[in-house]
């Protein structure tokens, strides 16, 4: 037992049970210990004095523990061009602000310029990559060799070595797996489908729905067999409905054709004789059969679907209108989309089918019909029931010039919810806004501001489009409450500007 251990043992027992004579004192200290004992009023005082003396003695003779070697291999010294001080200051701010979309923008600039981040940022970015798959996709280029080396040290960072992301598919949570599948579908459409087919039977209904939606991108004829199987065998109505929609969307969809031919037997739409040639006055006749054929049922039309406000046979007609590619009606009737839509808007007894047409436009992503629908919205305003989802979807099909034209014509003022339509509209303007467009858009947003309307998160998504030149004019926006509310948006736009300036020529 060394001296300090004997001191500790004594302290545990206490002076009532142990004697100072039992302490194991080295020769060097015995004279000093004797002196302490002599000068102390009692055993307790003496013990504390001895304890202090022994501790100092032990400390002075203590040897430091040693390791034989590091238990990891050093990183190899690679020459990589790193970001400079200004860019580093921005990255430091981005990592503190938790603005992942702007961080992604920053990292994309690094990728474009072949730069890696400075070493001290690597751990935080590795942590980010664990949560955010988009950021993960650029980390290999931006963290460089040191990032790959550091990733070995934590389980959370093992994803870094996973070159094709399959580890995510095999072992991660649903939302990460769906993000992976979307990304993989984009780059490897067939392989993504194969992966999904392998695991399909073992997935729960919720996962099956999320994953089948990932096939939206790069939908092609090679998907048909799988989708048909899902349509006929899946137990989830939601999953089947999605498979049905995708089958209809396939280029030259055989299901759409078969459905069309079967539907013609049930539902007849004809221009009314004598009036068909007058462009503006379109009258159509819709004739329904008494029962729904089995064939139509087989193609996904549900016999017992209950739609509010519709009779059974009208519900069948509704489903047919919602499924058939709108262009088929266009060709069949030799009429323009606007004429057909206008008819359904104008006729009270047929207006009930309008949402079905809008659904068909959305499912088939028919831009010509989407444009026609938007024009009808502008003409008929609240009378044209274009819901938020379809409004957003149709706008998403438009080009920048078209959107700017709609903005000039104030399309967002024609609906029921001016504020929400305005926001939906601007969220779909996914192009770099000109300064003039930015001014007008921000002025409109400020114009509808009420403290209980937008919150800062709603507008934040616009940060990628706002023109940097507007930053200097931001403080002029009224009311002041709107300025306060858009602080987060302002900060994000300003950061983007600073990033642009840090990586490129100064942006005016």
Partner 1 sequence: MSQWTEEQILALSPDASSTKAGKGLANSKKWLLLARSERAIWGECKGSGKNPYRTRIDLKNIAFKCTCPSRKFPCKHALGLFLLFAHSSTLFKEQEHPDWVEDWLSKRDTKEEKKTQPKKPVDKKAQEKRIAKREEKVHDGIADIRMRLQDLLRTGLANFQNESYEFCEKTAPRMVDSQAPGIAALVRNLEDIPSRSSWSSQALLQLTQIFLLTEGFQRMETLPQATQEDIRTLIGWNTKTDELYTLPVVADNWFVLGRETLVRDDLTIQKNWLFAEKSGNSALILNFYRGNQVVDISLVPGTIFSGEIIYYPSQMPLRAIVKKSERLSAWEGELPAFSDLTVFREDFVKRLAKFPWLDAYPLVLEDMTPAIYEDQMLLMDKDGCYVLLAESFMGFWELLALSGGYPLRMAGVRYGDSILPLGVWQDGRYFVL
- Sign of torsion, CA 245 246 249 251? negative
224 versus 494: smaller Cβ distance to partner 1: 494
Give me the least distance between CB of 96 and partner 1, in Å please: 10
- Sequence-distant (≥ 6) Cβ neighbours of residue 181 within 8 angstroms: 169, 192, 195, 196, 211, 214
Residue 4 as a binder of partner 1 (CB under 8 A): the answer is: yes
Neighbours of 308 (CB within 10 A): 6
- Sign of torsion, CA 318 321 322 323? positive
Alpha helices in 114-173 (DSSP H): 122-131, 133-150, 166-171
Where does this chain touch partner 1 (CB under 8 A) — which range of 8-16, 132-140, 281-289, 456-464? 8-16
- Provide the phi-psi class of 365: left if phi over 0, else alpha when psi is between -120 and 50, else beta: left
Alpha helices in 367-434 (DSSP H): 367-380, 388-395, 400-408, 418-427
Residue 79 as a binder of partner 1 (CB under 8 A): the answer is: no
Q: Which of 24, 29, 32, 75 binds partner 1 (CB under 8 A)?
A: 75
247, 255 Cβ separation under 8 angstroms: yes
Give me the least distance between CB of 138 and partner 1, in Å please: 18
27 versus 42: smaller Cβ distance to partner 1: 42
Size of the site for partner 1 (CB under 8 A): 57
Residue 156 as a binder of partner 1 (CB under 8 A): the answer is: no
The residues that bridge with 284 in the sheet, in sequence order, are 271
Give me the least distance between CB of 487 and partner 1, in Å please: 6
The residues that bridge with 267 in the sheet, in sequence order, are 288
Separation between Cα atoms, residue 36 and residue 45, nearest integer Å: 9
Q: Which of 27, 38, 42, 457 binds partner 1 (CB under 8 A)?
A: 42
* Per-residue burial over 429-453, b = 16 or more CB atoms within 10 Å of its CB, e = otherwise: beeebeeebbbbbbebbbebbeeee
Interface with partner 1 in residues 475-504 (CB under 8 A): 475, 484, 487, 490-491, 494
Interface with partner 1 in residues 193-252 (CB under 8 A): none
Give me the least distance between CB of 172 and partner 1, in Å please: 22
Give me the least distance between CB of 480 and partner 1, in Å please: 11
CA 211 to chain centre: 15
The residues that bridge with 270 in the sheet, in sequence order, are 285
230 versus 485: smaller Cβ distance to partner 1: 485
Q: Which of 66, 235, 277, 508 binds partner 1 (CB under 8 A)?
A: 66
Q: Give the x-and-dash track for 98-127 against partner 1 (CB under 8 A).
A: ---------------------xx-xx----
Where does this chain touch partner 1 (CB under 8 A) — which range of 45-53, 227-235, 357-365, 408-416? 45-53
Separation between Cα atoms, residue 166 and residue 152, nearest integer Å: 18
What is the DSSP-derived secondary structure letter of residue 429? Answer: -
Residue 412 as a binder of partner 1 (CB under 8 A): the answer is: no
Q: Which of 6, 51, 108, 293 binds partner 1 (CB under 8 A)?
A: 51
Neighbours of 108 (CB within 10 A): 17
Where does this chain touch partner 1 (CB under 8 A) — which range of 51-59, 193-201, 342-350, 452-460? 51-59
Q: Which of 1, 21, 27, 60 binds partner 1 (CB under 8 A)?
A: 60
Q: N- to C-terminal Cα distance for the chain? A: 77
Where does this chain touch partner 1 (CB under 8 A) — which range of 50-58, 104-112, 371-379, 427-435? 50-58
147 versus 337: smaller Cβ distance to partner 1: 147
Backbone angles phi, psi at 270, to 5 degrees: -130, 145
67 versus 334: smaller Cβ distance to partner 1: 67
77 versus 235: smaller Cβ distance to partner 1: 77
The residues that bridge with 285 in the sheet, in sequence order, are 270
Interface with partner 1 in residues 135-154 (CB under 8 A): 146, 149-150, 153-154
Q: Which of 29, 49, 236, 347 binds partner 1 (CB under 8 A)?
A: 49
254, 223 Cβ separation under 8 angstroms: no
Residue 45 as a binder of partner 1 (CB under 8 A): the answer is: yes
Q: Which of 24, 29, 37, 93 binds partner 1 (CB under 8 A)?
A: 93
DSSP 450-471: -TTS--HHHHHGGGGTS-GGGG
147 versus 271: smaller Cβ distance to partner 1: 147
122 versus 219: smaller Cβ distance to partner 1: 122
Residue ranges that bind partner 1, judged by CB under 8 A: 4, 7-8, 11-18, 42, 44-45, 47-49, 51-52, 55-56, 59-60, 62, 64-75, 77, 89, 92-93, 119-120, 122-123, 146, 149-150, 153-154, 472, 474-475, 484, 487, 490-491, 494
């Amino acid at each position: 037992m060394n001296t300090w251990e004997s001191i500790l043992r004594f302290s545990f027992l206490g002076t009532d049970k142990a004697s100072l004579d039992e302490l194991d004192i080295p020769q060097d200290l015995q004279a000093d210990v004797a002196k302490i004992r002599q000068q102390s009023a009692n055993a307790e005082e003496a013990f504390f004095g001895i304890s202090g003396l022994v501790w100092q003695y032990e400390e002075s003779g203590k040897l430091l523990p040693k390791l034989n070697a590091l238990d990891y291999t050093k990183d190899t010294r690679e020459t990589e061009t790193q970001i400079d001080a200004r860019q580093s200051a921005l990255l430091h701010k981005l990592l503190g602000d938790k603005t992942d979309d702007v961080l992604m923008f920053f990292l994309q600039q690094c990728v474009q310029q072949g730069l890696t981040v400075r070493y001290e940022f690597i751990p935080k970015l590795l942590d980010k990559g664990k949560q955010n798959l988009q950021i993960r996709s650029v980390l290999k280029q931006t963290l460089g060799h040191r990032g790959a080396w550091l990733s070995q040290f934590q389980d959370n960072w093992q994803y870094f070595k996973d070159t094709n992301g399959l580890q995510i598919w095999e072992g991660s949570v649903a939302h990460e797996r769906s993000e992976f599948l979307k990304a993989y579908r984009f780059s490897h459409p067939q392989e993504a489908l194969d992966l999904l087919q392998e695991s399909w039977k073992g997935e729960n209904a919720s996962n099956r729905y999320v994953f089948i939606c990932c096939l939206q991108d790069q939908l092609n004829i090679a998907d048909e067999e799988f989708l048909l199987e899902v349509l006929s065998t899946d137990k989830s109505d939601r999953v089947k409905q999605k498979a049905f929609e995708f089958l209809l969307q396939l280029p030259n969809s055989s299901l759409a054709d078969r459905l069309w031919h079967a539907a013609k037997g049930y539902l007849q739409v004809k221009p009314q004789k004598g009036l068909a040639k007058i462009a503006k006055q379109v009258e159509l006749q819709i004739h329904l059969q008494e029962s729904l054929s089995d064939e139509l049922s087989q193609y996904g039309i549900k016999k017992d679907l209950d739609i509010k406000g519709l009779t059974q046979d009208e519900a069948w007609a509704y489903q047919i209108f919602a499924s058939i590619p709108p262009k088929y009606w266009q060709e069949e009737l030799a009429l323009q989309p606007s004429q057909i839509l206008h008819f359904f808007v104008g006729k009270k007894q047929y207006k009930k089918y309008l949402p079905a047409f809008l659904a068909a436009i959305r499912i088939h992503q028919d831009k010509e019909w989407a444009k026609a629908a938007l024009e009808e919205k502008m003409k008929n305003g609240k009378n044209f029931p274009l819901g938020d989802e379809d409004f957003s979807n149709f706008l998403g099909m438009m080009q920048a010039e078209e959107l700017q034209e709609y903005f000039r014509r104030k399309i967002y003022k024609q609906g029921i919810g001016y504020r929400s339509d305005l926001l939906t509209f601007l969220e779909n303007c996914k192009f770099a806004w000109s300064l003039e467009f930015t001014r007008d858009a921000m002025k409109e947003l400020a114009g509808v501001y009420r403290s209980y309307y937008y919150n800062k998160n709603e507008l934040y998504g616009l940060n990628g489009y706002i023109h940097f030149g507007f930053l200097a004019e931001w403080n002029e926006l009224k009311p002041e409450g709107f300025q306060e509310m858009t602080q987060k948006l302002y900060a994000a736009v300003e950061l983007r500007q600073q990033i642009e300036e840090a990586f490129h020529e100064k942006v005016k």
